[in-house]
Structure 1
Amino acid sequence: MHEELENFERNHVLDLVEPPPNYRPIGTKWVFKNKRKAEEEVYVRQPPGFESARFPDRVYKLRKVLYGLKQAPRAWYARLKSFLLKSGFVMGSVDNTMFLLSRGGDTLIVQIYVDDIIFGGSSHALVSSFAEQMSREFEMSLMGELQFFLGLQIKQGLEGTFIRQAKYTRDILKKFDMGDSKPMTTPMSTNTALDADEDGEAVDQKEFRGMIGSLLYLTAARPDIQFAVCLCARYQASPRTSYRQAMKRIFRGFSDADHVGCRIDRKSTSGTCQLLGTSLVTWSSRKQASVALFTTEAKYVAAASCCSQLLWMKATLSDFGLRLQVEGVDNALIKGEIESQWTSLIALLLC
């Protein structure tokens, strides 16, 4: 606690002042629940046991937002954004947490996630200069080359950058006591068709939701399980034994759409994936908002969802100076043997 208060004093976060008239200071326990705007004056009582010997009756006036307040992330982002823009960075047109700096033909990219920062560039000198600049401006720890971030293991080499979640996978298998389970060839059986199953035996809801949450995070690097996980996630309100068995198979173990695949509301599921060159970069599996009367309609909805993601990618890549040419998006239906004037080909061009 002493170190924390000294840190606040060193960074000019708090000022010890006389309590203002007609203004009731909040207790330290309430600082973390304060809902006022960051622009308002906030006064806090001194923590019990850590009162100033000279001024025990004074209160703290906040000059900066504390990390416990709900305004803290926004205040930190505003502070960092202001610094980066003054340093010559340009904010991304789509992603406001991404900043780019071009200098002498080289590019530096900075990505912000709450209070973590990832940065890299085409020039080692530019990267080192930015690291030194940040260290002078903020109290920060430089972790070196990116190898682990938010549960993702990153390996960088001449052949490319690879992302995996091997450690996280082992951890959740151990957590749910499935480390010694036999592997399966597919995350879901082709004969599995989950429905309401109101007569099925109920299972522990907390455990089921924990399994769902763990697997949803795993889909960040495992697109092959996304459809199965999202399908099971629809039944978190009243999990049954059949759903839990389907979940266990996922633990053991391309753009398209299924037509009326959900037996409860007869809605279809859109599955999309986007590649940059030969690398799969984004993917999704999502239930459609409306009921499709024909397979063609379900395919159009899936293709439209895919195009929305592609437009976002196109705008983001333009910030890097990459201008994409006209691309065709062919629905997976043309891979089959179905031939008709309605379903033979869906070609959507992005200009």
Structure 2
Amino acid sequence: MIGDIHQRVTRSSVTSLAFFFHSAYVASFEPRDVSHALSDPNWVNAMHEELENFERNHVWDLVESPPNCRPIGTKWVFKNKQGENGMVVRNKARLVAQGFCQKEGIDYEETFAPVAHLEATRILLAFAASKGFKLQQMDVKSAFMNGFIEEKSARFPDRVYKLRKALYGLKQAPRAWYARLKSFLLKSGFVMGSVDRTLFLLSRSGDTLIVRIYVDDIIFGGSSHTLVSSFAEQMNREFEMSLMGELQFFLRLQIKQGLEGAFVHQAKYTRDIFKKFDMVDSKPMTTPMSTNTKFDADEDGEAVDQKEFRGMIDSLLYLTVTRPDIQFAVCLCARYQASPRTSHRQAVKRIFRYLKFTPELGLWYSSGSSLSLRGFSDADHAGCRIDRKSTSGTCQLLGTFLVSWSSLKQATVSLSTTKRVHLPSLAARSQLLWMKATLSDFGLKYGRISLLVDSTSAISVAKNPVLHSRTKHIDVRFYFLRDHYEKGDIDLIHVVSANQLADIFTKLLEFDAFTRLRGWRGIDNALIKGEIESQWTDLIALLV
């Protein structure tokens, strides 16, 4: 039960659709509070739209307050939605429940709802580009109001609103919405992914339709235009949808889909963080970090604003969704968030200056590309100057283009080069097996998956069951890799260090080596895709 909606927004005004549609303009500011919002007719329209959704979806009933019932309050949240060009396209007003005052076991039981991994979205983009169909996007208006809830709660001395459906802010709202949408899709003939519970597939007359859910954003596409259109109409009949057409802007990712493939980048987001941290006029640099950089705690250095430093790191970490070329440098700087110094902030600014030099870079997925699966695994040697731990680097490719990667400092000190390289191989193996299971839902079947490492000793340990002095210190869990090798899931292949693509995630590289690996990974503007594919052809020939 929800009560005490702001008195100045009356129930009678909710039904006044004429007032809501009187203006086609939007406000450029975000209100501080309700009083500020009510001073602008565009924000008043947005509030009317929200309350109209409540009435249309029959979200609540006005009832007497039950005895001994702890009520839950509400508040208005105002947010401008921007388009790809940064212009405000919609004023969004949400009346949300104050879920922070809910008590587990009283107001809610379960809250978990599956959310798609961004790497799963990259896999979908690569698959769609390879098959030559374009992905579409739709947004569910007031998605959480479509989810039915079982718990009861209330607020108001005499009369309260008893919720029939979930409301934004309630802890159980995402779970309720996902349950409703999943039930609808399964009844419509879709099959849920065996690994990814946000993936739904429909096969009909030899055609395939793929749907991926990210809360209230839905990405879909298929081999048949008729099947895609039918699904859009079906969803619009069941839920109130905003059909946004071809997928172009999703979770701050910009997607360009064409006949030759798909290009994913974050140019707008990059410009936004330049403005946020006053780096618009910064001098460009050709690499994210100098190879002469000697990073340590710098305890004698001058301390800097921790909040600002963490904000810069957080912004850069989200940029690594399409910019793996800065992954290692950002993760290296992130290790010093607890006590940042001037030297650490200068290193972060160097990353921004590199982004100034390469603002338009992104990931290119070519149409007609093969969908073979392979991985690379590498590690530096005792690279951390503080605790002498090594850094693991892995990357996984679908066809010739990157879909997953990682750069992570190892949890323990490696006592040998064998163990140092064995650790990232274990992580890469796990990721490859997850991708193999996920891609099986797309109808792709794989035998042995190639995992390329530049350590013959690590390969020997995985293949040879004999224990000796070089392996006795390795934990039992590392032999999981050997088990999957013997089962035929993974095939370990040696690659010379010069062609080890995971190098870019483990160490600082000179400009020539850095740009060479960056190009091989498809981390370049779509305008030079021909050069990338040529490089990849040369590399694959070397590996065979």
TM normalised by structure 1 equals: 0.89
CA contact (8 A) 2:196 2:438 kept: yes
1:267 matched to 2:369 = no
1:350 matched to 2:489 = yes
Q: Secondary structure at the match of 1:76?
A: helix
Aligned pairs (5 A) from 1:155-234: 155-234=256-335
Q: Which amino acid aligns with 2:197?
A: N
Tell me which residue corresponds to 2:347: 246
Q: CA 1:19/1:343 → structure 2, altered by over 3 Å: closer, same or farther? A: closer
Q: Which amino acid aligns with 1:9?
A: E
**What is the CA distance between 1:40 and its match in structure 2?**
2.2
Tell me which residue corresponds to 2:407: 285
**What is the CA distance between 1:291 and its match in structure 2?**
1.4
Aligned pairs (5 A) from 1:307-346: 307-333=429-455
Q: Larger helix proportion, structure 1 or 2?
A: 2
1:120 matched to 2:221 = yes
Q: Deviations over 1:268-315 (max 9, x none)?
A: 111111111111111111111221111221101011111111111100
Distance 1:140 1:44 in 2: 31
Q: Which amino acid aligns with 1:237?
A: A
Determine which structure has greater relative contact order: mean sequence separation of CA pairs < 8 Å that are 6+ residues apart, divided by chain length.
Answer: 2
Tell me which residue corresponds to 1:9: 55
Q: CA 1:245/1:25 → structure 2, altered by over 3 Å: closer, same or farther? A: closer
Q: Secondary structure at the match of 1:43?
A: coil
Q: Which amino acid aligns with 1:242?
A: S
CA contact (8 A) 1:12 1:63 kept: yes
Tell me which residue corresponds to 2:64: 18
**What is the CA distance between 1:43 and its match in structure 2?**
2.6
**What is the CA distance between 1:345 and its match in structure 2?**
9.1
1:32 matched to 2:98 = yes
Tell me which residue corresponds to 2:428: 306
**What is the CA distance between 1:350 and its match in structure 2?**
2.1
Tell me which residue corresponds to 2:185: 84
Q: Secondary structure at the match of 1:206?
A: helix
Tell me which residue corresponds to 2:197: 96
Task: Name the stretch that deviates more: 122-131 or 9-18.
Answer: 9-18
CA contact (8 A) 2:391 2:407 kept: yes
Q: Deviations over 1:218-243 (max 9, x none)?
A: 10011111001001001111100111
**What is the CA distance between 1:32 and its match in structure 2?**
1.6
TM normalised by structure 2 equals: 0.59
Tell me which residue corresponds to 1:337: none
Q: CA 1:15/1:330 → structure 2, altered by over 3 Å: closer, same or farther? A: same
Q: Deviations over 1:24-59 (max 9, x none)?
A: 54444594223411522223339xxxxxxxxxx432
Distance 2:161 2:388 in 1: 59
In structure 1, list runs of 5 or more residues that go unmatched: 47-56, 335-340
Q: Deviations over 1:42-93 (max 9, x none)?
A: 23339xxxxxxxxxx4322111121121111111111111111111111111
Task: Name the stretch that deviates more: 5-14 or 279-288.
Answer: 5-14
Q: Secondary structure at the match of 1:41?
A: coil
* Aligned partner of 2:171 among 49, 52, 70: 70
Q: CA RMSD in A?
A: 2.1
Tell me which residue corresponds to 1:52: none
**What is the CA distance between 1:132 and its match in structure 2?**
0.5
CA contact (8 A) 1:330 1:345 kept: no
Distance 1:285 1:24 in 2: 47
Q: CA 1:188/1:345 → structure 2, altered by over 3 Å: closer, same or farther? A: farther
Task: Name the stretch that deviates more: 263-272 or 1-10.
Answer: 1-10
CA contact (8 A) 1:77 1:114 kept: yes
1:146 matched to 2:247 = yes
* Aligned partner of 1:110 among 185, 207, 211: 211
Q: Which amino acid aligns with 1:20?
A: P
**What is the CA distance between 1:346 and its match in structure 2?**
6.7
Tell me which residue corresponds to 2:160: 59
* Aligned partner of 1:41 among 139, 147, 152: 152
Q: Which amino acid aligns with 1:264?
A: I
Distance 1:183 1:31 in 2: 46
CA contact (8 A) 2:266 2:319 kept: yes
Q: CA 1:306/1:22 → structure 2, altered by over 3 Å: closer, same or farther? A: closer
* Corresponding residue pairs, total: 335
**What is the CA distance between 1:142 and its match in structure 2?**
0.7
CA contact (8 A) 2:200 2:210 kept: yes
Q: Which amino acid aligns with 2:392?
A: S
Q: CA 1:208/1:328 → structure 2, altered by over 3 Å: closer, same or farther? A: same
CA contact (8 A) 1:28 1:45 kept: no
**What is the CA distance between 1:151 and its match in structure 2?**
1.1
Q: Deviations over 1:226-268 (max 9, x none)?
A: 0010010011111001111111111121632112111222211
**What is the CA distance between 1:108 and its match in structure 2?**
0.9
Distance 1:164 1:75 in 2: 33
Tell me which residue corresponds to 2:3: none
Q: Which amino acid aligns with 1:294?
A: S
CA contact (8 A) 1:108 1:121 kept: yes
Distance 2:286 2:342 in 1: 22
Task: Name the stretch that deviates more: 124-133 or 181-190.
Answer: 181-190
CA contact (8 A) 2:253 2:265 kept: yes
Q: Secondary structure at the match of 1:143?
A: strand
Q: Secondary structure at the match of 1:325?
A: coil
CA contact (8 A) 2:73 2:98 kept: no
Distance 1:103 1:300 in 2: 45
Tell me which residue corresponds to 1:296: 418
Q: Secondary structure at the match of 1:118?
A: strand
Q: Which amino acid aligns with 2:242?
A: S
Distance 1:239 1:25 in 2: 44
CA contact (8 A) 2:65 2:155 kept: no
